Amino acid sequence: MSYFTGYFVSTHMDLQQIKQRFGIIGTDAVLNRAIDIARQVAPTDLSVFITGESGTGKEVFPQIIHHSGARKHGEYIAVNCGAIPDGTIDSELFGHEKGSFTGAHDARKGYFEEADGGTIFLDEVAELPLSTQVRLLRVLETGEFIRVGSSKVLKSDVRIIAATNIDIPQAIRSGKFREDLYYRLNTVPINVPPLRDRGNDILLIFRKFASDFAENYRMPQIILTEDAKQVMLKYEWPGNVRQLKNITEQLSIIEQEREITSATLLRYLPEYSDTRLPALITKEGLREDAFNSEREILYKVLFDMKKDMNDLKKLVGEIMTKGDLEPSVHHENAQIIKNLYGSGEEGLPGRGEMSPPVRHGDDDNIQDTEEVMEESLSLADKEIELIRKALDKHRGKRKYAALELGISERTLYRKIKEYHIE
């Protein structure tokens, strides 16, 4: 089939036809864009690199590309690179000769020979050993490979589509993935959006799953109340579509009531939160920007401590110099001190006890308050104090409290959980 014929076939099928053929549900713009890219690249032989979280349905896109292009009559082989042991992955992909290793009783073709003229989908490609990555790079560049235990160079005309759910740039920096291989695979990138970013698609997919399970198990279909729908939309869905399908199936089988309320739904949603803040933790640990946020909040704490101390020194000096002040002034000054240090049993806080100012002789010399202050030096305590002040000031609104503290909202959210701040 010529390029132009293949192009006509792939573009002739519109987005809705592709969704119906491959069981894709949703109207999200990012999802539609990903499908459109797959449709446009299908008639070419360009390598495609698909990224997205686990459970988002990345495995559908190689099928769209293969069955919509000129190779649709060739072999389509999907390989889960993370499920094959390191010692046998080369044999699985490139084949081996008889006697090349223990247990190799006969010669065997690998996937690249079997899929000649077709498509190979390498799922979890970042799990490949570095030695196998070198072999794969050669296939991408020249179409040539060598069986394990052989010296004969073989050729294969195979289109390669790869996918991963990890941060490849981070894997490159840590030496776990070859940068040159990444650029060879990433000729055309496709990103599959996570379920939590697809809005009302969540409810559409739920209804489809609920209908399917009702038909399979021959029972009335479950439906969601309005409050349950809001819970669905606010949940993070760390397992994406796969998790939504499992939970829908559990609700369909276990619950007797066919109308699912938010209280019922919450029992099936682990670690539910009514906020939609992104997590700071990745598979490789804390992201670099998370560390920067930690450092920024510590600097903010230290500068605010210094400013509070200077303000307090001026205030105490003013009180002692002027003597008896007007009641309104007393009230204003007391409020300032309360704002600086909270409210303790004596009207002043308990974290750092402040001794009363000391007078010496008739000249009313004022002692430096820094000499009589026993302030807590715990950064954790100061963080808690500032976070509470910011939340009180903005009546519990985390967005504005985070702006006041000079940190991101997600960092503030994590601090609230870490310190168990009400």
Q: What percent of the chain has pLDDT over 70?
A: 76
CB of 212 closer than 8 Å to CB of 25: no
For residue 159, give the H/E element and its range: strand 159-164
Q: Reply yes or no on whether the pLDDT at 344 is more than 70.
A: no
Which of residues 146, 177, 193 is at a domain's end?
193
CA–CA gap between residue 3 and residue 157 (Å, rounded): 16
CA–CA gap between residue 65 and residue 239 (Å, rounded): 25
CA–CA gap between residue 163 and residue 124 (Å, rounded): 6
Structure confidence at residue 396 (pLDDT): 82
Answer whether residue 58 is part of any domain. Answer: yes
Whether 201 and 188 map to the same domain: the answer is no
Which of residues 150, 177, 193 is at a domain's end?
193
Q: What percent of the chain has pLDDT over 90?
A: 55
Which of residues 137, 167, 193 is at a domain's end?
193
Question: Angle formed by the axes of helices 60-67 and 29-41, to 10°?
Answer: 40
Whether 172 and 207 map to the same domain: the answer is no
Whether 134 and 145 map to the same domain: the answer is yes
* Tally of domains in the chain: 3
Amino acid at 279: A
pLDDT digits (tens, 9 = 90+) for 122-175: 999 999 999 999 999 999 999 999 999 899 999 999 999 999 999 999 999 999
Whether 21 and 122 map to the same domain: the answer is yes
Residue 377: band (very low, low, confident or very high) from pLDDT cuts 50, 70, 90: low
Range scoring the smallest mean pLDDT among 167-181, 284-298, 389-403:
284-298
3-state secondary structure of 191: strand
Of 238 and 101, the structure prediction assigns the larger pLDDT to 238
CB of 293 closer than 8 Å to CB of 409: no
Whether 164 and 252 map to the same domain: the answer is no
CA–CA gap between residue 40 and residue 64 (Å, rounded): 10
Nearest to 311 by CA among 326, 296, 331, 333: 333
pLDDT digits (tens, 9 = 90+) for 18-64: 999 999 999 999 999 999 999 999 999 999 999 999 999 999 999 99
CB of 50 closer than 8 Å to CB of 20: no
Answer whether residue 110 is part of any domain. Answer: yes
CA distances 328 to 304, 323, 331, Å, are 27, 14, 5
Q: What is the residue range of 81's domain?
A: 3-193
Residue with tokens 């990138």: 189
CB of 64 closer than 8 Å to CB of 32: no
Answer whether residue 278 is part of any domain. Answer: no
Answer whether residue 314 is part of any domain. Answer: yes
Whether 178 and 202 map to the same domain: the answer is no
> Hey, CA dihedral for 409, 413, 415, 419, is it positive or negative?
positive
Answer whether residue 282 is part of any domain. Answer: no
Structure confidence at residue 372 (pLDDT): 45
Q: Reply yes or no on whether the pLDDT at 322 is more than 90.
A: no
Question: pTM for the whole thing?
Answer: 0.62
Task: Show the tokens assigned to 339.
Answer: 């704002």
Answer whether residue 274 is part of any domain. Answer: no
φ/ψ (deg, to 5) at 122: -100, 95
β-sheet bridge partners, residue 122: 79, 162
Answer whether residue 138 is part of any domain. Answer: yes
Whether 36 and 180 map to the same domain: the answer is yes
For residue 247, give the H/E element and its range: helix 240-254
Amino acid at 311: D
Whether 331 and 227 map to the same domain: the answer is no
**Beta-strand relationship, 144-146 and 48-51:** unpaired
Whether 87 and 212 map to the same domain: the answer is no
CATH number of the CATH domain containing 70:
3.40.50.300
Answer whether residue 365 is part of any domain. Answer: yes
Nearest to 240 by CA among 46, 2, 60, 12: 60
CA–CA gap between residue 209 and residue 247 (Å, rounded): 10
Whether 297 and 413 map to the same domain: the answer is yes
CATH number of the CATH domain containing 202:
1.10.8.60
Residue with tokens 């303790």: 344
φ/ψ (deg, to 5) at 164: -155, 160
Whether 249 and 160 map to the same domain: the answer is no
Whether 179 and 223 map to the same domain: the answer is no
CA–CA gap between residue 155 and residue 138 (Å, rounded): 11
CA–CA gap between residue 111 and residue 97 (Å, rounded): 14
Nearest to 43 by CA among 69, 73, 72: 69
Residue 376: band (very low, low, confident or very high) from pLDDT cuts 50, 70, 90: low
Q: Reply yes or no on whether the pLDDT at 221 is more than 80.
A: yes
